[in-house]
Chains A and B, each alone.
Chain A
Amino acid sequence: MQFLSYLINGLGLGSVYAIIALGYTMVYGIAKMLNFAHGDVIMIGAYIAFFALARFGFPFPVAVLLAMLVCTTLGVVIERLAYKPLRQATSLSVLITAIGVSYFLQNGAQILWSSSSKVFPSVISAGSIHLGSASVSYLTILTILTCIVVMICLTLFINKTKTGSAMRACSEDKGASMLMGINVNRIISITFAIGSGLAAIASVLLASTYPSVYPTMGSMPGIKAFTAAVFGGIGSIPGAFVGGLILGIIEIFAKAYISTQLSDAIVFAVLIIILLIKPTGLLGKKINVKV
């Protein structure tokens, strides 16, 4: 059954998009900004994992942890230096700053590690298991499982912990949360840290699926994940999850059944049609403006 294997591959790709989209949607929900440098944090994570595995021969879990550590630090540093001074500025100014950070990371990576692409070592065994007549690689299964675990942990964190409820409060009303004694700056830093840590996980999965690492590798998955976040309703965590999965499935199906070259066009066309029907995304809240 071809259909089943396409569906599972779609879920695999969608899981990567979903993990990246979580970073976009959390930052948007709390800091109300589009962090265009998120895709480039993924690229940095992939490079770190690559060096840890290929150059220093660290075991896989250590490489992932190292990538997460570096990305988390990077995310927090970027937020402190570039975005924090702009808390009061218009959203467009912050957007341009994020673009500046994105250029900086891409060109910095190019200078440090050259623009030629590096082959990411295959660490997850290439075998596959058979579900009926469909065969699914271990990597795809690992990707889907990772995404589910991340989703469960994040939902528990947001709903059950004190920091999580502080984050929800900040996304509702920053001024009121400040009056309640929540340190809003700290919450925003934590959000960036979590988003960037997730980006590191996504980077390892992405680099294992498409085994090449280069300075602009983050931009296209970044755009797709951003699309997924909006698709699901930006600011909503389950929305990012659902949006990412649907986007991945549509992309794989478009490639399989319609045309490989036109798959991007089809993905974005479906997005436009869905936004026409549900103008605030699949799970987005409709906010009524009071006059």
Chain B
Amino acid sequence: MKTASKLFSPGGDKMKRGRLISFALVIAAYIIIEILLKTGNLSSLFKSLLVPVTCYVVASLGLNLNVGISGELNLGQAGFMSVGAFCGICVSGMLANTITVPVVRLMIAMFCGACLAAVFGFLIGIPVLKLQGDYLAIVTLAFGQIIKSIFMNTYIGFDADGLHYSFVESKFKLQPGGKMLLNGPMGATGTQKIANFTVGIVLILIALIIIYNLMISRSGRAIMAARDNRIAAESIGVPISKTKMLAFVVSAFLAGAAGALYGLNYATLVPNKFDFNTSILILVFVVLGGLGNMTGTIISTIVLLILPELLRSLQDYRMLIYAVVLILIMLVTNNEWLKSRVKGFTSGKAKGGA
């Protein structure tokens, strides 16, 4: 019992409560949605949103580790999702005949996707973490663009002879019964949809356990020390690049797992899906939820993904209103004058997130 409670909410009493709230929130949301699903009270629109929302939550949690806890602006989170997604789709496609239980195949695909994304995270981390501030941000942005370009030009097929691959144009011929897994700009087509909501929720819980345990560990404290004052941390012997690399790789790992789950939720997936705008979208979730605040990230991701759907009745104006809401939230939470006005209006209980 004691070890279990330590696993789920490590740290001091006050921090413990905040952490327990995020687990309780996820589990409560899961139970409510399952009840709604069983009683058939959920519209097909919301059903189709369930898995993508869990994917974005995990990717945002990963990015919050990077931006909030480690303090490095990352504009390429969608790139890591992309690596995870296409790796997951390939693995699942190759194992389609060997492992017939979908959940097991999904797990293996997600694990492979996460690991490959982590490897990419490590490789891109070497140049990235030498830089600081906006120069670091631009390299992550460049990485996202490169990954998108590469997947747009990658052709992978699988048949009885094994894997075939080529770049820029499809140069190989598949034997009968073979299958194209990746088809250049058309992306992955004919993917078996094996993702499900329960796995998504489990993934969120795993992500929370990883992040919370990292945060209170020795390495986590080193990460935060490096964020708060790089020079002071370095002078007391914190290895800056190593600690930042750890946050970066874990963040990429989570994005990869989320990407694999996302990719296996759709029959077709184009590389353009994971472009710069998607990276920015995830960053918006993180900043609005509050840097370093995991519960906030979960809530803001859910709200901001559902908001455009709720505004659907406004048709063309919905994204316009979404933009205005975004600007207003930032103004209200960051401007002292507006903040005091709003506080006076709601008799002073609201607290700004970001």
Contacts and interface: CB of A to CB of B under 8 A. Distances in A.
A100 interface: yes
Contact of B323 (A85, A107, A289): A107
Given A93-B354, A280-B135, A82 B331 contact: yes
Interface stretch (B7-15, B140-148, B218-226): B140-148
Contacts of A99: 280, 283-284, 326
B322 A275 contact: no
Contact of B138 (A227, A259, A261): A227
A269 B146 contact: yes
A81 to B, nearest CB: 8
Interface in A60-90: 82, 85-86, 88-90
B288 interface: yes
B328 to A, nearest CB: 9
B291 interface: yes
A107 B319 contact: yes
Given A100-B326, A103-B326, A226-B138, A92 B287 contact: yes
Binding site of B, secondary structure by majority: helix, strand, loop or mixed? helix
A93 B73 CA distance: 12
A77 B131 CA distance: 34
A104 B138 contact: no
A104 B67 contact: no
B331 A85 contact: yes
A261 B327 contact: no
A96 B341 CA distance: 22
Interface string A268-287: 11011001100111000000
Contacts of B149: 261-262, 264-265, 268
Contact of A96 (B134, B276, B284): B284
A289 B130 CA distance: 16
Given A268-B146, A269-B146, A234 B326 contact: no
Interface string B126-166: 01001110110011011101101110110000000000000
B310 interface: no
B83 to A, nearest CB: 14
Nearest to A99: B280
Nearest to B185: A261
Interface string B41-81: 00000000000000000000000000100000100000000
B305 to A, nearest CB: 15
Between A36, A86, A99, A227, the greatest number of chain B beta carbons within 10 A of the residue's beta carbon is seen for A99
A279 B141 contact: no
Contacts of A1: none
Contact of B168 (A85, A108, A262, A289): A262
B317 interface: yes
B108 to A, nearest CB: 29
A117 B246 CA distance: 45
A223 interface: yes
A39 B331 CA distance: 22
B334 A93 contact: yes
A100 B142 contact: no
A88 B336 contact: yes
B350 interface: no
Contacts of B145: 223, 264-265, 268
Between B134, B319, B322, the greatest number of chain A beta carbons within 10 A of the residue's beta carbon is seen for B134
A135 interface: no
A177 interface: no
Contacts of B276: 219, 223
A291 B67 contact: no
Nearest to A97: B330
B327 A82 contact: yes
A271 B124 CA distance: 13
A111 interface: yes
Given A97-B330, A100-B326, A103-B322, A279 B131 contact: yes
A88 B319 CA distance: 28
B153 to A, nearest CB: 5
B284 A275 contact: no
A34 interface: yes
A261 B152 contact: yes
Contacts of A100: 323-324, 326-327, 330
Interface in A24-70: 28, 34, 36
Nearest to B280: A99
Given A289-B231, A291-B231, A104 B141 contact: no
A108 B145 CA distance: 26
A287 B133 CA distance: 12
Contact of A108 (B141, B153, B320, B338): B320
Nearest to A110: B316
B127 A107 contact: no
B242 to A, nearest CB: 18
B3 interface: no
Between B135, B231, B277, B284, the greatest number of chain A beta carbons within 10 A of the residue's beta carbon is seen for B135
A101 B142 contact: no
Contacts of A166: none
16 contacts: A90-B354, A93-B287, A97-B331, A103-B323, A103-B326, A110-B316, A111-B316, A219-B277, A223-B141, A230-B135, A261-B153, A262-B149, A268-B143, A268-B146, A275-B127, A280-B135
Please provide the 7 A-B residue pairs with the shortest distance between their CB atoms, ordered closest to farther: A265-B149, A268-B142, A89-B334, A100-B326, A103-B323, A104-B323, A100-B327
Interface of A: 28, 34, 36, 82, 85-86, 88-90, 92-93, 95-97, 99-101, 103-104, 107-108, 110-111, 219, 223, 226-227, 230, 234, 259, 261-262, 264-265, 268-269, 271-272, 275-276, 279-281, 289, 291
